[in-house]
Structures are given as C-alpha cells and as structure tokens.
Amino acid sequence: MDLSADELGIILLSLKVALVSVAFSLPVAIGVAYLLARFEFPGKTLLDAVVHLPLVLPPVVVGFALLVLFGRHGPIGAWLESWFGIVFAFRWTGAALAAAIMGFPLMVRAIRLSFSAIDRRLETVARTLGGSRSWVFVSVTLPLALPGLVTGIVLSFARSLGEFGATITFVANIPGETQTLPLAIYTYTQSPSGDLQALRLSVIAVILSLVALVAAERITRRKTALARAPRT
C-alpha cells in the first residue's frame, strides 16, 4: 500500500501531535501522580476529581472549555499570546494540548498505581544510605515505577492518536494544521466518494495502534526479563 503525500502528511501530523502531547504531559503527570500517591493534603479529593474529569466529560465539553480558556480572547490564551507569543487556537499546538488533557487521567492513573506499589522502605533504606530526598526519587522511585510509566505513556499516546471530539471543537478541522488521522477519516466519510480513503486511513490507524502496543509490550518484557536473568 503506497502512501500518498496527503496521507503521509496526516500521519506525520498525528504522530507529532501525539508525541508532543505525551512529552509535555509526562512530567506534570509524574508530579501529580506522586502527590496523589504519597501525600495527604486539603483538596486532595478535588484534585483527584479534576484530573479525572476529562475521562467522564463529553470530549466536546472539554474542547469547548479549552476554546473558552485558551482561545485568542480567552483569559489564558490572550495572556500566553501577549507574554510568550504562544497560540493554541486553530494550531497543531492546540491539538496537542487537547490530546494531552484527554490522555492525562490515563497517564496519572497508571503512574500513580506503580508509585503506590513501591515498598516505601526501599526509599527509607536509600535515605539511610545517604541519598537525599530528590536523589532517592531519581535513583529508586522512578526506576521502580518504570512499568507504570511505560503503561501511562502508551495509553496516553494511543488516546492522543485517537482524539477527536475535543480537538475538532477546540482547533477545528484544518488540513495540514489540525487535521489529524481521526479528523481526516471523519472528513472522508462525509463526502460521497470518500469511502476508500476512509478505509485506507482506518487501516493505518489500526497499524499505528498495534505498533505502539507491541512496542510497549516489548519494552516491559525486556525489563522484566532483565530483572530475572542472571547477568554473568
């Protein structure tokens, strides 16, 4: 199956949006997951609920909220544009933001679970061995949370690739700028002669998702195999 220039452009844009959304949400997700897994503080339940909101809200509502807040005249959007020159509205960066927010709960859940599963006495030992709080986090906590990190990354990456409702509401459906794979498939299904194109893109979407899943599987398996086999 040869890819046309248009198809290639759509795939590359989708990958770019998904990768950027994962890259920027990962550090925030690690921070929030750690906060939720390890600390008791006032407002914890509220934070937990807000993080999970994108999971339960209709994506269109999330997209609309983003439009109101991050649009060029929205309170955050106007401020970001005047101070940093960053524009989200109707740009691919906006698609990445929408994807990041939709994938965020999945990422936080996976990472939080693996933080909770760590035997905290391992961190205590590391402290008594002379490790500062931050060094212990980097050298013990994060490596031990790796399975959760991988799962979180893959889930949110897949969620980003498939993001539709929030994206189309927030940044519309602009070919070459915000038209990711699901939006392109939707567009073709709306035209009388677009069935074949929609089918081709759907197959590509299936392949991309499978590749991501298999890659994640292999990473985790290699890690566990490494942990079992004696290296001599």
Partner 1 sequence: MIHIDIAQRLGDFELDVAFKADAPIVGLFGRSGSGKTSLVNALAGVARPRRGLIVVNGETLFDSDRGIDVLPERRRLGYVFQDDLLFPHLNVAANLLYGYHRAPASARVIDPEHIIELLGLRSLLHRLPDALSGGEKQRIAIGRALLAQPRLLLMDEPLASLDVARRDEVLRYIELLRDDLAIPIVYVSHSVAEITRLADTVVILSDGKAIAVGDVDEVMGRLDLRPQTGRYEAGAVIDTVVAAHDTEYGLTTLRFDGGELIVPNVEALVGERVRVRIRARDVALALTRPEGLSVVNILRGTLVAIADPGGPIVEAQLRVGAASLVARITKRSRVDLRLAEGQQLYALVKAVSFDRRSVGYA
Residues 214, 158 contacting (CB under 8 angstroms): no
Q: How far apart, in whole angstroms, are the C-alpha atoms of residue 62 and residue 100?
A: 12
Q: How far is the CB of 110 from partner 1 (least distance, A)?
A: 18
Query: What's the token pair of residue 227?
Result: 């942990």
Q: How far is the CB of 31 from partner 1 (least distance, A)?
A: 21
Residue 135 binds partner 1 (CB under 8 A): yes
Residue 138 binds partner 1 (CB under 8 A): no
Residue 134 binds partner 1 (CB under 8 A): no
Residue 40 binds partner 1 (CB under 8 A): no
Q: How far apart, in whole angstroms, are the C-alpha atoms of residue 13 and residue 66?
A: 20
Q: How far apart, in whole angstroms, are the C-alpha atoms of residue 16 and residue 20?
A: 6
Residue (2 or 119) nearer to partner 1, CB: 119
Pick one of 44, 127, 218, 221: the residue that binds partner 1 (CB under 8 A).
Answer: 127
Positions 145 through 174 that interact with partner 1 (CB under 8 A): 146
Site for partner 1 (CB under 8 A): how many residues?
Answer: 24
Q: How far apart, in whole angstroms, are the C-alpha atoms of residue 170 and residue 71?
A: 8
Query: What's the token pair of residue 95?
Result: 């698609």
Residues 176, 10 contacting (CB under 8 angstroms): no
Nearest C-alpha neighbor of 189 from the set 197, 181, 178: 197
Pick one of 23, 124, 174, 218: the residue that binds partner 1 (CB under 8 A).
Answer: 124
Residue 1 binds partner 1 (CB under 8 A): no
Pick one of 119, 190, 193, 196: the residue that binds partner 1 (CB under 8 A).
Answer: 119
Nearest C-alpha neighbor of 34 from the set 107, 105, 115: 115
Residue (28 or 146) nearer to partner 1, CB: 146
Residue 175 binds partner 1 (CB under 8 A): no
- Fill in the DSSP letter of residue 3: P
Residue 222 binds partner 1 (CB under 8 A): no
List residues near partner 1 by CB under 8 A: 119, 121-122, 124-132, 135, 139-140, 143-144, 146, 226-228, 230-232
